[in-house]
Amino acid sequence: MTIVAAEELLGRQFTDDVIDWVGIFEKAQARLNLSGSGQRSGTLLLRDWYPLARTLWLDSHVELAGDYRAKHHLGSSCGFTCGEGFEGDFVLAWKKPKPNSNHSNFGAGCRNLHVRTSAGLGGVSFRGAQQSAGIDNLVVRGFGEQGTGLEIGGDTYSIRDVFLDAAIGGGGSFTRLGATGLKTSGRTQGIVIENLTVHNSATGIRLGDAVEMSIQGLETELTELPVLINYNAMGVTIRQGQFRHTANIMDIEGARWPNDFLVKIDGMMLDHMRGRVALPGAVWETPYKIFDLAIQGTGRGISVIDLKARRQASA
């Protein structure tokens, strides 16, 4: 189902200045096929960007896709922005098939979209399941203080080429208090993330109950804390971290099951000589800019293993 360009629709069908774009998308979604869960399944294709007055809820198996690749600015992209008095917590959000179905959003998709939001308002809340779902080429900007760029849930899908910036052009480059680039919702399992950038945020990624997740290429800039784990991480791998304008790598606030806690992370402090990992009750510091670490738990707590130092010692 294709949503026509905003200018075309304005000129042909409407004389009012205020258009309920959410209602238009809801009507288009209602024309998609019904799935076995009773929700719609299919693809909505955008050819422009659209102002929304409230959260656009997508059914659990719906893919929302721009007609061409999203750019750094909204005007040259397909996507959405929010107006004053916006109603809702996120600009875009995907439903669950049922209230307790956390891993059943087969076919859900978010591709080639730019979402410009406002301070304290979340950009995208996405939930997917299996290889038919996924996020590809998503730009979220402007979520500001206390806002979240991207919230994810579900399992076994891929996220690629995502840029999350708490600021927008002309808004100044500095850390926004309480802003989070990406955070997980509920148990997230088997999700592969490739090429993720977070700018101007307090926290880059916030992982809750994360299981066997992989992040390849995580870049942060003017983001005080690149990684925060606030519940548990079992088999999380972060490769090619590139952290600028901070001396921090990761904070671990707790480990629900310490014997199964494991995070492997490597990368580089781009403009600090050393990087810090904050553990419950202790702080560990890398000896050099380049780091390769395994952070794991036992019944006695969480510890850091410097894999780079071990290789040097055995050479």
Predicted confidence at residue 5, as pLDDT, reads: 57
pTM value is 0.93
Taking CA atoms, 43 is separated from 39, 108, 112, 295, in Å, by 13, 9, 13, 41
Element housing 10 (H / E): helix 6-13
- Kindly state the tokens that stand for 315: 């050479």
Predicted confidence at residue 8, as pLDDT, reads: 54
Helical ranges in the chain per DSSP H: 6-13, 21-29, 307-314
> How many whole angstroms separate alpha carbon 223 and alpha carbon 3?
36
Q: For the chain, which residues make up each domain, given as ranges?
A: 142-314
> How many whole angstroms separate alpha carbon 184 and alpha carbon 296?
20
Contact 298, 259 (CB under 8 A): yes
Q: What is the pLDDT of residues 31-90, one digit of tens each?
A: 999 988 889 999 999 999 999 999 999 999 999 999 999 999 999 999 999 988 999 999
Residues of the chain with pLDDT under 70: 1-17
Contact 140, 161 (CB under 8 A): no
> How many whole angstroms separate alpha carbon 130 and alpha carbon 98?
17
Predicted confidence at residue 14, as pLDDT, reads: 45
Predicted confidence at residue 159, as pLDDT, reads: 98
β-pairing, 282-285 with 276-279? Answer: antiparallel
